[in-house]
Structure 1
Amino acid sequence: MDPLSITASIIAVVQLSTKVLGYLNNVKDAPKDRTQCAIEMLNLCSLLYRLTDLVKQGNPGTSWYSAVQALAVKDGPLDQFKQTLETLQTTMTDGGRLKKAGEVLVWKFKKEEIASILDQMERLKSLVQIALQMDHYALSQAIESNTEAIQSDLNFVRTRGDNAEHRKLLEWISSTDYPAQQSDIIKRRQEGTGQWFLDAPQVATWLSESQATLFCPGIPGAGKTMVAAIAIDHLLNVVQSSSHGVAYVYCNYKAQEEQDVSRMLAAILKQLVQARPSLAGPVEQLHKQHADRGTRPSPDEVFSALRDVLAHYSAVHIVIDALDECQDSDNTRRQFLAKLRDLQAGRDIRLMATSRFIPEIVDWFNKALKLEVQASKEDVKRFVAGQIYRLPRCIQRDPALQEIVQEKIVEAVDGMFLLARLHTDSLLDKRTTKDVKSTLAKLSKGSAALDEAYKDAIQRIEGQLSGDYELAKKVLSWTTYAKRPLTTTEMCCALAVEPEEAELDPENIPDVEDLLSVCAGLVVVDQESAVIRLVHYTTQEYFECIRDSWDPGARLHIASTCLTYLSFNTFNTGSCCSDEEFEERLQENKFLGYAAKHWGGHAATVESQICKLACLFLSRSKLVSCAVQVLLRAPYRYPNYSQEYPKNSIGLHLTARFGLSIISETLLLSQEREMAIALERRDSDGQTLLYLAAERGHQRMVKLLLDKGADVNAQGGRYGNALQAASSGGHELVVKLLLDKGADVNAQGGRYSNALQAASSGGHELVVKLLLDKGADVNAQGRRYSNALQAASLRGHELVVKLLLDKGVNVNTHGGRYSNALQAASLRGYELVVKLLLNKGADVNAQGGRYGNALQAASLRGHEPVVKLLLDKGADVNALGEYHLY
């Protein structure tokens, strides 16, 4: 390659960079990302100009010149970066439709996409800087080591093709937007705070040591979430690269639906693929397997895809905030931590977690590095100083008084940022120096300080004009009782609903700023996610203690609002016939999603009071059809997804789902002559009222339906009958009720073939015992699993396995997907279950099934303790077996 060719390649990149810079400068409301991108591009252009001069003066016969040639070859670093710039330009100009540099452009990139571009610029800058040093050997080595990373991150050009499709793929695997939460939290950081954390030796060890784990406990309000955000911000800005991944999860007491094991692992997977789009292969494979069928990947499939992606990173830091807010009633927290520990065992994964001092969580991290989170006096003082601009003018114009404010609040809060915020807010309505000093003198301290601060805030709310006081009560009650976090739009729509009105009056919608101003600092809005929420978890706990006495009508108001909204005239057309129509309905009616999904939960607390309004709604089939479609359609998008929900649903199907027995009885009595028909009415999925109530464990509802004559053994639905549905969910009292009413304990059909396998798969020991005591066949065969023992073994339910073995189950029965129980337990690495089976005489070398034998199953998944146990028990290390992908 001659000097002109090399120079031409460099000049082409410089010219295109200059053109893209022109577009960058015309971005409307330019964000910080755009500015950083422009600065880095200018720096790169400067280096490229210098390299051009050197190439023109260079001797083509030198080793250095040969090394420089590698920069400009086809598909080399310069060519690849040029392609990235071309795609960047195309995206910014909507495919070239905006051609004039003076036209207004909109920034369309997510932080992860810009991070990829910046990574490419940084790599190319590094190569050019080495070239400028005239060291041909160092340049050759650098180009060779960077080539793979450069090619893998050409997300806009080669790997992804259509960036919009890539976004859809990632949205499919996880709709959770933790980066938006990160942006919201870090924006609230007072400059300079949290440096003590980054400077701590434990953090230095965690950042540098392979497989390190850092546990950061703290009292409520100490600033744990901000510390997590500071750690994440440091990782994203300093540590993250093409070879070093960063992912994080913000647990939230209000977002339980998003916090099962599968969704949290999927969110981590999504972030790692966002940072390295070329690693999307495992996600694409899952999409091909599930999207068109309308199914979701299992937790094991997500785990496997995550493991495959992690293999392409040399190290990954994962931060989990507020583990105590991840409820563990169904073992979610323990299972999630176990999965992370499994991932960490074979890779350089460095975990960090924050939590309150919950004994179980503290014990889990007993071998980890520990760093307690506690707001330092310096940080609290910085925080208060940063809030002075919000305070009354008597404070703003008096430096001496400002100093007193800072000192008194620092003295009172004792390491609790939340209390500093509440104390600062308590000064917002103090207009004289005397009032300020009087308030400071009475600041609460000690263990009861938070409750006292909340009481003070309530008093300030109650002291407002009556209209503001009533608005504050509604906002705080909605925020407290809401089943999930509400967006500002949803909140404003809910507050605008008027009793007995058939549509929403746009003139009755309040302003978000007014909502915040009347709530005395107890409510905040996250700007990136547009979520309105209480200022802290402890605020929720405080209001849960006082809400019934402070606003006794709140539950009825919220339930009435949901039902009134669902009864609006605009929904009288019934369900939508296409995805486009459905999405348009949701877009135009912002509160519909929440109302349809959660009206039943709110109505359950005031059922007798809301019964009349509920029956009016439920007796109108078109309204019910609209609500059912919103409630039960798939939560993710694929062709025709909006049409995949149970058709032919009536109002009673909804009340059965929500367990509304009082409302159900009223509806049944209103159609007494047709009651028998109503009781046996099935939706398009074959689900009866009894089946729906049993599946969800609604004991009173099940009893009502049985007393009214519902067929206890009616077949239909995913689980085949009501007994299997209740057994799968572990609803012991409902199972007992069904059995006492004559349910066939050995009825076949459905997903698990029989109730015993359903209960065993879920590890529901008490239900298993109840079924066995009622005569369930311990060796009954099934399609999904050979028998109950295999079902329990696959899930690692040791106590259920022991119970089945004590009841005489055949330990060596073959069949099902995993051939036998030992193979099922070995595959998942359940050491204690494997040991139990072997001690009961399981055949260690039994052949068959998808994995051939137990040893092969355990080896495939890397379960070293299980492999050792099998070998110690005589497993044939040379036994033939073939792993089949089916």
Structure 2
Amino acid sequence: MANTGTWFLELPEFKMFSDRKGTIAWITGMPGSGKSVLAAIAIEYLEKHNIASKDLGIAFAFIRYTESRTLRDILSSLIAQLVEGSYMACSLIHSFYSQSIAKEGAELLESDMIEGLEKIAGALGVVHIVIDGLDEANDQVKDSLLEVLVTSKTNLLILSRPLDLYIHHTPDALFVSIQAQTADIELYVTDQVKRSSRLNAVLQGRPELVKELSTRIKEKANGMFLLAKLQMELIMSSCNSINSLFKALDKLPYGIDEMYRATLDRIAAQPEEDVSIAHRTFVRLVYEFSPWNADTRPMSAEDLRHYLAVSFENQTFDKGDLVPIPLILSTCCGLVIAEEGDQGFPEIRFIHYTTKEFMKNIQFSNIPVEPSPFLAVISMIYLDPHLEPLLALESRPPEELDQYFYANPFLYHAQRSWGFHARMSQRQGLLPRYTHWFLSKNQRYPFIKSSYSPVTSLFGLHLAAIHGLVDVITENTALPCEPIGPEGYTPFHYAAMEGRPDTFRALVLIHQGAELTTAGGQTFMHLAVKHRREGFVRELLLWLENLSPEEVQRHLQSFDINAQDSEKMTPLMLAVSEGWTPGIASLLATRRDIQVNMVDKDGVSAFMLACGCKTSDFAEVLISSFPELDFDRRCNHGRTALMRAARGGNVQVAKLLLSRNPAIVNDVDSAGWTALLHAAYLAIPDQREDILRLLLEHGADQGAKPTAGAVQLTAFLYTANWPWIQRNRRDHEGTARVPLLELYLSFQPESIHQRDHKGRTALMLAIREGGDPPTLSLLLNRSAVAINAQDAEGLTAFLHAFRLLSKINLAEIVETDYPPEAVAFIRSRRKRSDISQSCLRYRRCHALVRDLLLVPSLDASKHDNMGRMALEWACLSAGSHLLGREGFDQYRELYLKEGDMQRQFESTVGFFFATLHRIANHEGTRWNRHAFHRAAVVACSTLADPILARFLQEGWVRQAFEWTVDENCAVVLLVQASGRKCRVAIGVILEYLGLLGSGWDTRWFGSSGVDVAKMFCDLDCSWHTEILSF
């Protein structure tokens, strides 16, 4: 409503949140006091006033208890909003994702998102984040979200009920209570009077009566905007005169529950059909949860209309019974609202979460049965005519299924929730007979596990097992029980996967002799373990213990607890390999007939799998339960239990194994890997240092390196090699790796001289992949470091700095499956990211050169095996992408159109020339003119025309030449520039040679470079042929 909330924007606390970086404002209020409205007003204000600011970010989250959101869900939403609103944020996240995640083929983890948010907050001027409904998140999310946002240095606005238990996270927050704020209620009452013809007529335009009405409503509402709204709804429908109006005001309840009861009484006074509509709407909203709450879609307006058009009594759905949404909302008397959702269509919900809590205790007399059987039957009635069409979509693209759901709005919820409501009915002893008929009427039924799952064709008994409908199983013994689908699952398998032991036992008693092994060799116990059904495993093992061998044979045929699936995995192996909790493994270990030393297809035993888990719990269970445990087994790849413990960072297990036999520390597998290498390459980041220290203390060989594979580095060299290390992602400066390098050197200082198979040292490897400052500082401060050492290609650590620029990829994107406008957008977004990434790379290269040139013993004039020195490498690397002709032409349009991109490009150019200037003017290096000539020739053969023109005007370049037509090198520059048609650079060279305005025919510069060279002199070009070939 217009003008409400303006007082909030004038609060000093809000102004500080809006204007001062790092401010946290926490707004508290009782339920229904209008906090969500204020959050929306704040967001609108921020967006309106910051729309032209490119260094500001705005993001928000409305947390609702009906939506089970994790910390990762909330962070991903916040980051997505910031990325959409800022090119800088987009480029930062793209670069971060590419470097830290894409190489592993994984999605962003929670820790990645925390780091990403910190990066954006640090790069942008101010980031405003609004969190509404923090009190509706679960306790763990409250703690974690506050910890992350407070440390991210963003401007944070929180709106919630009072949360005294959590304010220790924000000791510097500005707290504001809105309980006493009644200005908005007064505005609301005045607005409703203007809108209501009835109130206008009753109050006769008398301002004193309007003032009195407003005052009385404010007193009754006690600061609760929600309560004021319901009170106005009540009196607007009942008053006919001034006296009746104020009598109604006197009778208005004070509390929210009393107001809800009064509203329900008002609903009950409506015509019977209206009461039925309202009550059925309430029942649906209160009991709408499905078995997979996190996958439940919001209820749309059309969904509700179709639901209400299903007749429980006639067991039919008729589109002629569809009720318009305004009428539905009217019958609910303000307790239900429709508001636009994330998908762009109206979503139906209670006016407030307290409404739902209140309704849970209400008995709706207009509903013919209890809510669970009512909703189960309604869902099955709606689903029934769609069974065959859904089965026809079994092998169709998922888009067609979505389209079918869209055309039948209630169908998604009906097919997902009928079984849940049927099971709830069964628990109450009220399973409708309709359920038996429904599951026995057809041969096949469609089943859709989740939003992203395809349609699966199942028998009725399979569905009964999935939903735990024991009554259906026991009364409908003729339902088919055979395997179905490519996996060959029977109802027994579905009961195990869903964790329903009572259903499984019912199936066993009725369908004796049924197939209990899938096509992949999995038993029901395999599937129960794989799906983490600890309760199922416990009850089934207890049940089996109470059966005689004959009964087990009769019920379960040849049940074998050690059965192996197609991967040769036993249930025990699955229990320890999945690594969730040791509960299931402990249960299985109690079986006396467990064969613990069996191996899978790779020769790995259950104990070896347990050694690779994050904790020692699994291994301890096996050690304590099985005296015959084989500690010394090797798998088919020659790996030992210690190696698997090292890979998993399992220090406790590694200690136990080394205490038994210290000599195993340097055992190697078939690829030459030792436990130390496994720990360095693959151990969990948070546990890597501890496991490495343990192995080094036991004499692990630091010189060992793999004998096979693409990466053949020692543990020390691998740790220095940035892109391969699985470091702590929150530590984007690389400080997590420094303690590891120090650890290696503390045990063996001479590791600083180690080289890989290409002759590269740790310093070279660290530099070529970015050279983060902490790592460089550590390596350069070691007096033994060979700063001028050369690898097999003749490259020094200094020359490797320019390889950093060679790793920028400006690949063209072709999306043939998208429309042209989408392709244009994707290309544009990718180009912006490329420019930003290039700018960051050039900045880092410049910093590397600066730091390395400060090392007194550095020889910057060293050249590689092809004679290339630092200046040539710098020009060659720059010319291969953004500053080369191809890259410059590809991105020129963005430079001209967008100021932000132009500034980033100018920054890139600036870093490039600053780097060249530092090298050329290095006090510790005596350059000769020949080195500058070679660099100039490379620049003329690679750089874009404008960049080359500026290069030629650098003082050290200009002073390196005599600039006469008799100077061979100067002529070569002209040849190179003319051959590439660099018009600006040609003009600069001709100016230097004194040929501009001389009448000399420059059209010759369209000829081949050799012909032009011969016009000047008989020039021997062999000395630079190698350079020109790049």
Indicate the TM-score class for this superposition, using the shorter chain for normalisation: 0.5 to 0.7
CA distance in 1, matches of 2:44, 2:23: 19
Equivalent residue for 1:619? 440
Equivalent residue for 1:737? 539
1:349-498 matched pairs, under 5 angstroms: 349-357=154-162, 361-362=166-167, 365=170, 368-374=173-179, 376-391=181-196, 392-393=198-199, 394-395=202-203, 397-431=205-239, 432-445=241-254, 449-483=255-289, 485-498=298-311
Deviations 1:789-811 (A, max 9, x none): 64445xxxx98899899989999
Equivalent residue for 2:904? none
1:659-808 matched pairs, under 5 angstroms: 659-667=468-476, 669-671=477-479, 678=481, 681-708=483-510, 714=516, 722-723=524-525, 725-727=527-529, 731-741=533-543, 758=575, 763-764=580-581, 766-767=583-584, 769-771=586-588, 787-788=609-610, 790-793=612-615
CA distance in 2, matches of 1:438, 1:348: 54
Equivalent residue for 2:378? 561
Deviations 1:636-682 (A, max 9, x none): xxxxxxxx636442223323332232233334x234xx6xxx1x624
Kindly state the Cα deviation for residue 516 of structure 1 after the two structures are TM-superposed. Answer: 1.0
Kindly state the Cα deviation for residue 531 of structure 1 after the two structures are TM-superposed. Answer: 0.7
Name the SS for the 2:130 alignment partner: strand
Q: Indicate how the Cα distance of structure 1 residues 228 and 827 shifts in structure 2: closer, same or farther if over 3 A, else same.
A: farther
CA distance in 2, matches of 1:372, 1:805: 58
CA distance in 2, matches of 1:839, 1:227: 56
Letter in 2 for 1:666: E
Kindly state the Cα deviation for residue 363 of structure 1 after the two structures are TM-superposed. Answer: 5.5
Of 370, 374, 396 in structure 2, the residue corresponding to residue 578 of structure 1 is 396
Q: Indicate how the Cα distance of structure 1 residues 728 and 570 shifts in structure 2: closer, same or farther if over 3 A, else same.
A: closer
Q: Indicate how the Cα distance of structure 1 residues 861 and 717 shifts in structure 2: closer, same or farther if over 3 A, else same.
A: farther
Deviations 1:235-280 (A, max 9, x none): 3223464332222222222333xx2444433333332332246866
Kindly state the Cα deviation for residue 620 of structure 1 after the two structures are TM-superposed. Answer: 4.8
CA distance in 1, matches of 2:645, 2:128: 39
Equivalent residue for 1:62? none
Q: TM-score when scaled to structure 2?
A: 0.54
CA distance in 2, matches of 1:324, 1:760: 38
Deviations 1:61-87 (A, max 9, x none): xxxxxxxxxxxxxxxxxxxxxxxxxxx
Letter in 2 for 1:409: I
Kindly state the Cα deviation for residue 464 of structure 1 after the two structures are TM-superposed. Answer: 1.3
Of 73, 79, 91 in structure 2, the residue corresponding to residue 269 of structure 1 is 79
Deviations 1:695-736 (A, max 9, x none): 333343344345556899955599955445545665442221
Equivalent residue for 1:54? none
Deviations 1:125-169 (A, max 9, x none): xxxxxxxxxxxxxxxxxxxxxxxxxxxxxxxxxxxxxxxxxxxxx
Equivalent residue for 1:103? none
Name the SS for the 1:426 alignment partner: helix
Equivalent residue for 1:510? 323
Equivalent residue for 1:218? 29
Pick which of 535-544 and 501-510 moved more: 501-510
Contact 1:560 1:610 survives alignment (8 Å): no
Q: Indicate how the Cα distance of structure 1 residues 308 and 684 shifts in structure 2: closer, same or farther if over 3 A, else same.
A: farther
Q: Indicate how the Cα distance of structure 1 residues 868 and 585 shifts in structure 2: closer, same or farther if over 3 A, else same.
A: closer
Equivalent residue for 2:66? 254
Of 564, 589, 605 in structure 1, the residue corresponding to residue 424 of structure 2 is 605
Deviations 1:390-409 (A, max 9, x none): 54331474432221221112
1:790-869 matched pairs, under 5 angstroms: 790-793=612-615, 813-815=642-644, 818-821=647-650, 857-862=726-731, 867=736
Name the SS for the 2:360 alignment partner: helix
Pick which of 463-472 and 706-715 moved more: 706-715
Point out the structure with max Rg over C-alpha. Answer: 2
Contact 1:217 1:354 survives alignment (8 Å): yes
CA distance in 1, matches of 2:266, 2:232: 13
Kindly state the Cα deviation for residue 376 of structure 1 after the two structures are TM-superposed. Answer: 0.4
Q: TM-score when scaled to structure 1?
A: 0.62
Kindly state the Cα deviation for residue 748 of structure 1 after the two structures are TM-superposed. Answer: 6.0
CA distance in 2, matches of 1:396, 1:711: 84
CA distance in 2, matches of 1:866, 1:806: 40
Q: Indicate how the Cα distance of structure 1 residues 633 and 415 shifts in structure 2: closer, same or farther if over 3 A, else same.
A: closer
CA distance in 2, matches of 1:632, 1:575: 17
Q: Indicate how the Cα distance of structure 1 residues 670 and 747 shifts in structure 2: closer, same or farther if over 3 A, else same.
A: closer
Equivalent residue for 2:336? 523
Kindly state the Cα deviation for residue 536 of structure 1 after the two structures are TM-superposed. Answer: 0.3
Name the SS for the 1:247 alignment partner: strand
Q: Extract unaligned runs of 5+ from structure 2.
A: 290-295, 545-558, 632-639, 652-678, 720-724, 755-761, 770-1030
CA distance in 1, matches of 2:573, 2:159: 39
Letter in 1 for 2:248: T
Contact 1:244 1:316 survives alignment (8 Å): yes
Name the SS for the 1:733 alignment partner: helix
Kindly state the Cα deviation for residue 496 of structure 1 after the two structures are TM-superposed. Answer: 0.8
Letter in 2 for 1:450: I
CA distance in 2, matches of 1:463, 1:799: 63
Letter in 2 for 1:488: A
Q: Indicate how the Cα distance of structure 1 residues 339 and 415 shifts in structure 2: closer, same or farther if over 3 A, else same.
A: closer
Equivalent residue for 1:174? none
Contact 1:697 1:726 survives alignment (8 Å): yes
Kindly state the Cα deviation for residue 216 of structure 1 after the two structures are TM-superposed. Answer: 3.6
Kindly state the Cα deviation for residue 457 of structure 1 after the two structures are TM-superposed. Answer: 0.4
Contact 2:146 2:169 survives alignment (8 Å): no
Q: Extract unaligned runs of 5+ from structure 1.
A: 1-188, 636-643
Contact 2:279 2:364 survives alignment (8 Å): no
Kindly state the Cα deviation for residue 588 of structure 1 after the two structures are TM-superposed. Answer: 2.0
Letter in 2 for 1:565: Y
Deviations 1:295-331 (A, max 9, x none): 9876667777777777764543333322333346xx5
Structure showing greater relative contact order (alpha-carbon pairs closer than 8 Å, 6 or more residues apart): 1
Equivalent residue for 1:114? none
Contact 2:612 2:644 survives alignment (8 Å): no
Letter in 2 for 1:272: L
Kindly state the Cα deviation for residue 462 of structure 1 after the two structures are TM-superposed. Answer: 0.8
Contact 1:203 1:214 survives alignment (8 Å): yes
Letter in 2 for 1:235: L
Name the SS for the 2:45 alignment partner: helix
Letter in 2 for 1:595: A
Letter in 2 for 1:615: H
Q: Indicate how the Cα distance of structure 1 residues 488 and 634 shifts in structure 2: closer, same or farther if over 3 A, else same.
A: closer
Name the SS for the 2:391 alignment partner: coil
Contact 1:730 1:759 survives alignment (8 Å): no
Letter in 2 for 1:233: E
Equivalent residue for 1:651? 460
Q: How many correspondences in the alignment? A: 658
Kindly state the Cα deviation for residue 540 of structure 1 after the two structures are TM-superposed. Answer: 0.3
